[in-house]
Amino acid sequence: DKKVVLITGCSSGIGLSLAVRLASDPGKTYKVYATMRNLDKKERLLDCVKGLHKDTLDILQMDVTDRQSILDVRDRIAEKRVDILVCNAGVGLMGPLEVQSLDSMRQILEVNLLGTIQTIQAFLPEMKAQGQGRILVTGSTGGLHGLPFNEVYCASKFAIEGACESLAVLLLHFNIHVSLIECGPVNTDFLVNLQKVELGDLSLQQVDTQTLSLYEKFLQHCGSIFQNAAQDTEDIVKVYLDAIKSPSPAFRYFTGGVVPPLTQMKITEPDGSQCIRAMSELIFSVEEKQ
Ligand code: NAD
């Protein structure tokens, strides 16, 4: 029997690559339900599988903020079960906190946090009844340590850590494994899709000059990190496959292969001050040191 996989956010990026890889698995091990909020965007995924794999791939509409769309997908799964649930959909929000509207902050939390949680909620009873399952979540190093100008995004990703860790403890008793695939920068549409306050935006007129110059530095740092250190989606997919194939998967996978130094520092220096200083130096460079 094929393993039934459901993935959220498959119109681009990590979700798309993972759907393509699993649907085209040479052993035909997986039946993939690739879901996306907007089916008008399915061409890219279809192009990648070149119209093949009709027996291993189904594309369905699902908006993780819309409970009914999640339930509709659940009803359309022919096998009536999901063995591997991949919660991947997510969006970013970047800019000085004082200009973020309540609506845009709410939207990020709706998608990243509540969207992930309500997707898991919908498939959990069935997985518990099966007495087995995998829940994999695309996590972020922004869920492990804070990033300036990403307060709400980090809040959403930190929250995911808490939700997943809590669930993992309980689900041990149901033979359901929860794993976070912790990504650093990845070459995807993420930067294009995120809600970002641009330097020329009118809203920035109300922001003090020091914040503005730090934001400019941050954007430069961010640009160079994505240019020089970003991983490709294939690298992330490999880590996903490790987790999927492992008989006893870890709770956290770091896609870079090692625990990032700043994450390590949080453990060895739990009072936090060194970690915060190190992050500031990393992003704003030594000139800002006081
Ligand atoms: P991406 O923008 O290409 O993919 C995100 C996908 O989520 C898109 O297909 C988008 O349409 C979808 N999505 C957004 N809102 C949705 C909704 N309401 N319902 C369903 N789908 C929705 O970027 P990506 O990098 O592939 O992002 C995937 C995940 O990886 C996200 O959770 C993101 O936070 C995480 N991540 C990305 C990076 C990075 O640098 N790219 C780093 C760390 C973590």
**In this structure, what token pair is assigned to residue 246?**
């492992």
**Which residues have C-beta within 8 Å of that of residue 163, sequence separation ≥ 6?**
113, 116, 117
Tell whether ligand 1 has an atom less than 6 A from the beta carbon of residue 190. Answer: yes
Verify whether residue 30 is a known catalytic residue. no
Look at residue 286 and tell me whether its pLDDT is greater than 80.
no
- Report the separation in Å between the CA atom of 142 and the middle of ligand 1, taken as the mean of its atom positions: 13
Dist. CA 262 → ligand 1 center (Å): 23
At residue 288, the pLDDT reads: 46
Q: Which of 14, 69, 253 to mutate to test the pocket of ligand 1 (most atoms within 8 A of CB)?
A: 14
CA of 190 to the centre of ligand 1 (A): 6
Q: Which of 153, 215, 240, 253 is catalytic?
A: 153
Q: Is the CB of 69 under 6 A from ligand 1?
A: no
> What's this model's pTM, rounded to 2 decimal places?
0.96
DSSP per position, 183-206: E--BSSSHHHHSEE--TT-GGGGG
Rounded to whole angstroms, the Cα distance separating 266 from 273 reads: 9
- Percent with pLDDT over 70 in the chain: 98
ipTM computed for the complex: 0.99
Tokens 């190190």, residue?
A: 278
* Distance between CA atoms of residues 202 and 212, nearest Å: 12
User: Could you tell me the distance, in angstroms and rounded to a whole number, from the CA of residue 112 to the centre of ligand 1?
Assistant: 9
- Specify the pLDDT at position 132: 97
Sign of CA pseudo-dihedral 178, 184, 185, 191: positive
Task: Give the angle subtended at the CA of 123 by the CAs of 119 and 125, to the nearest 5°.
Answer: 135
**Residue 31 φ/ψ, nearest 5 degrees:** -110, 115
Task: Give the pLDDT confidence of 18-47 residue by residue, as tens digits.
Answer: 999 999 999 999 999 999 999 999 999 999
Residue 140 near ligand 1, beta carbon < 6 Å: yes
Q: Among 138, 136, 145, which Cα is nearest to 183's? A: 138
In a mutational test of the pocket of ligand 1, which residue from 60, 72, 190, 236 has the highest number of ligand atoms less than 8 Å from its CB?
Answer: 190
What is the residue with the minimal CA distance to atom 23 of ligand 1?
190
Task: Give the Å distance between the CA of 119 and the centre of ligand 1.
Answer: 15
CA 74 to chain centre: 21
Residue 107 and residue 148: Cα distance in Å, rounded? 19
**Burial of 169 (C-beta count, 10 Å sphere; 0-12/13-18/19+):** exposed
Q: State whether the beta carbon of 89 lies less than 6 angstroms from ligand 1.
A: yes
Give the chain's radius of gyration (CA, Å): 20
pLDDT digits (tens, 9 = 90+) for 162-183: 999 999 999 999 999 999 999 9
12 close to ligand 1 (CB < 6 Angstrom): yes
